[in-house]
Structure 1
Amino acid sequence: MPFRLIHVVAFSCVLLFYMNSFSSAEQLHSFTPSDRLPISGHLTIKTGNSVREVALADLETLPMHEVTASITVEEPIKTFEGILLRDVLAYLGALDAEEITVRGNDAYAASIPQKDWKTWPVLLATRSEGKPLTLRQRGPARVIYPMQDFEELNHRRYRNRSVWMVQEIQW
């Protein structure tokens, strides 16, 4: 019987040690993405039966623009830099598409109608405050509507179209 008790005590000690080593948020913080590490990336472009990859670095050779915005209540207003969605779509050969579907790597997808990119300076942001977007900033690319500049965009419909962690564009 004492032999079994020793095993139970030893197992309990190991279990407590394991649980305590992961109980603090500070210790778990090391498992979350860093604000300082940019994500290199590319987008998957799907048109009909065609699939191709486009590097974000290639898109950043197009004229860059800024939009100051806050997409969610918990996110502060920031300056985002990137390429106008209409310029991205012209580069991809999709400027005349009726709508596109933008999908994030979290499987969230939103349809963006042509009217949006032709009416407003909707941005495919790749940077914030001059630095590449990190995963924590919902990068490597985000669709940003200029809600602070156009009152009519401050609506749930446009917030829902503000896809983050963009990995795919399809039309």
Structure 2
Amino acid sequence: MVHPFRKLGLAGLLILFSTLSWAGESPKDDTSVILTVTGSLDHEDGEDIVQFDLERLRALDETRVETSTIWTNGTHVFHGTSLAAFVDALNISEGKLRARAINDYAVDIPVSDAVEGGPILAWHLDGAPMSLREKGPLWLIYPYDSDSQYRSDLIYSRSIWQLDRIEIIR
């Protein structure tokens, strides 16, 4: 009888074990790609794909939201890039963002949600990077406690965690 791992070969084992080891961890450094953006981009360098590591996201803007969520206990402090700064950096003023998580959960977020004091692409929870188990590396957080409009089933459905891809649809 052949062991199941033997059928994978060396490349398959490397992929399997690197995925398993990453599952409970945050990206190793600020230069690991954590977000890939595709779709209808009007980017100055003509690229049809834009990749963000943590350093590049931080360069856009760094903000914090202190709020409770329906998925956590108590109030927490989230640090990240505002969705407004993110869409501005990509020169997006209309359409929607099709946000997709590592597990392929997808949700459409209207660009109109990207307002000052609105949602952020959070990378830190209470001062620490978020692992995949902790809904990281990115979690779209709305300031739920700041306005009752952010406490609805629709907004909760847009609060995607383990976010790693966004497609721009105009």
Provide TM-score, normalisation by structure 1: 0.71
CA distance in 1, matches of 2:135, 2:71: 15
CA distance in 2, matches of 1:85, 1:97: 13
CA distance in 2, matches of 1:100, 1:60: 20
- Backbone CA RMSD of aligned residues: 2.4
Shift of 1:162: 0.3
Q: 1:112 is paired with a residue of what secondary structure?
A: strand
Match among 35, 43, 52 for residue 43 of structure 1: 35
The structure that has the greater radius of gyration is 1
Show structure 1 runs of 5+ residues with no match. 1-30
1:145 matched residue in structure 2:
142
AA in 2 matched with 1:102: A
Aligned-pair identity (%): 24
CA distance in 1, matches of 2:123, 2:71: 21
Any residues of structure 2 matched to 1:23-102 within 5 Å, and which? 33-34=23-24, 37-39=25-27, 40-48=32-40, 50-94=48-92, 96-102=93-99
1:9 matched residue in structure 2:
none
Shift of 1:119: 6.2
CA distance in 2, matches of 1:104, 1:47: 16
Alpha carbons 1:44, 1:54 under 8 Å: kept: yes
**Measured at CA, do residues 128 and 73 of structure 1 come closer, stay the same or move farther in structure 2, by a change above 3 Å?**
closer
Alpha carbons 1:139, 1:166 under 8 Å: kept: yes
Q: 2:86 is paired with a residue of what secondary structure?
A: helix
Provide TM-score, normalisation by structure 2: 0.72
CA distance in 2, matches of 1:166, 1:60: 16
1:27 matched residue in structure 2:
none
Residue deviations 1:89-121, cap 9 Å, x none? Answer: 111222x13211111111011111122113652
Match among 108, 112, 115 for residue 112 of structure 2: 115
Aligned length: 139
Shift of 1:76: 4.0
CA distance in 2, matches of 1:89, 1:32: 28
Show structure 2 runs of 5+ residues with no match. 1-20, 42-47
1:23 matched residue in structure 2:
none
